[in-house]
A and B are shown apart, each in its own frame.
Chain A
C-alpha cells in the first residue's frame, strides 16, 4: 500500500470515528436515558476520546513513532491544563459553597 493511500485512509478513519463520536454525544443529550450527571460524564468521555482520535489521525501524534518532543509537549500542556482547570474549579466551587451555603 502506498504512502498516499495510507494517509488518505488515516484521515478517512479519523473523520469517520469523529462523526460517530459526535453523533453519539449529541444523541445522548437529545434522547436522555440516564441521570444528568451520568450523561454529562459520558459526553465528557466521548469528547476526550474524540480529541485523542483527532490528535492521532489529523495531527499524526502517536506514542511510538514521534522522534521529536511533540507528544511530551502535549502531555506537559495537558498536565498544566489539568492542574489549572481543576484547581480553579475546586477553589471557586468551594468558595461559592462557603459564601452562599
Chain B
C-alpha cells in the first residue's frame, strides 16, 4: 500500500480538473503560516492563564466554576464536528452529490452552533455567580482564553455559511475548493486548541 506524497497540510485533493496540486500547495501553505501564528497567540494566553490561576482575590475559583459534564459534552461536540468536516472534504474531493457535501457541512455547522450555545450558557451561569472578567485576574485570563476560542468558532461558523453560499454561486471551482480546504484546516486547528483548553482549564480546575 503506497500512499501518494502529500504537498500540504489537510486532505490533498491531487490534480482535479479544476485545481492543480501546485496551486493548492502555495495557497494552503500561506494559510498554514497564519494558523501557526494563531497557535502562538493561544499559547501565550495559556501561559497568562497559568500564571493567573491562583489570583482569585477571594472570588470564584476554578473548582467552584468549572463543571465536568458541560465541558465533556462540548468536547464531544467539537471533536465530532472536526470529523464531520473531514467527511465533507472527502465528499468535495470525490465530487460526491452536492446534497452529500451540504449534508456533512450542515452537520458540522449544527455541531458548531450547539457548542457555541452550550458555551454561552456556561458563561451566563458564571456571570450569575458574579464570575465576570473584571472580578479577578483568574477570570480575566479565563475569559480572554476561552472567549477568544469561542470567537474563533463563531467566525468559523460564519465562514462555513459563506462557503455554502460560494458553492451555490460558483460551483466547486479552484477558488472555492481552496477556500474549503483552508476552512477545514482552521476548523481542525480549533479542535486541537480545545484539547489544550479542556485539559488545562476544565480538567485542571476539577482535580483535587
A→B interface (CB under 8 Å): 1, 3-4, 6-8, 11-12, 14-15, 18-19, 22, 25-26, 28-30, 32, 36, 39-40, 43-44, 46-47, 50-51, 54-55, 58-62, 65-70, 73-74, 76-77, 80-81, 84-85, 88-89, 92-93, 96
B127 within 8 A of A: no
Residues from chain B with Cβ under 8 Å of A11 in the complex: 83, 86-87, 90
Residues from chain A with Cβ under 8 Å of B90 in the complex: 4, 7-8, 11
Contact with A along B21-44 (1 / 0, CB 8 A): 000010001001100110110011
A40 touches B51 (CB 8 A): no
Residues from chain A with Cβ under 8 Å of B170 in the complex: none
A70 touches B8 (CB 8 A): yes
B15 to chain A, nearest CB (A): 13
Can you list 23 A-B contacts with CB-CB less than 8 angstroms, sorted by A residue number?
A: A4-B90, A8-B87, A8-B90, A11-B83, A12-B83, A14-B86, A22-B76, A25-B199, A25-B203, A30-B206, A32-B207, A36-B207, A44-B199, A54-B192, A61-B9, A65-B6, A77-B39, A80-B40, A84-B40, A85-B43, A88-B48, A88-B50, A92-B51
B47 touches A88 (CB 8 A): yes
Count contacts on B: residues with CB < 8 A to the other chain: 57
Residue pairs across A and B with CB atoms within 8 Å: the count is 145
B162 within 8 A of A: no
B75 touches A43 (CB 8 A): no
B158 within 8 A of A: no
| Chain A, interface SS category | helix
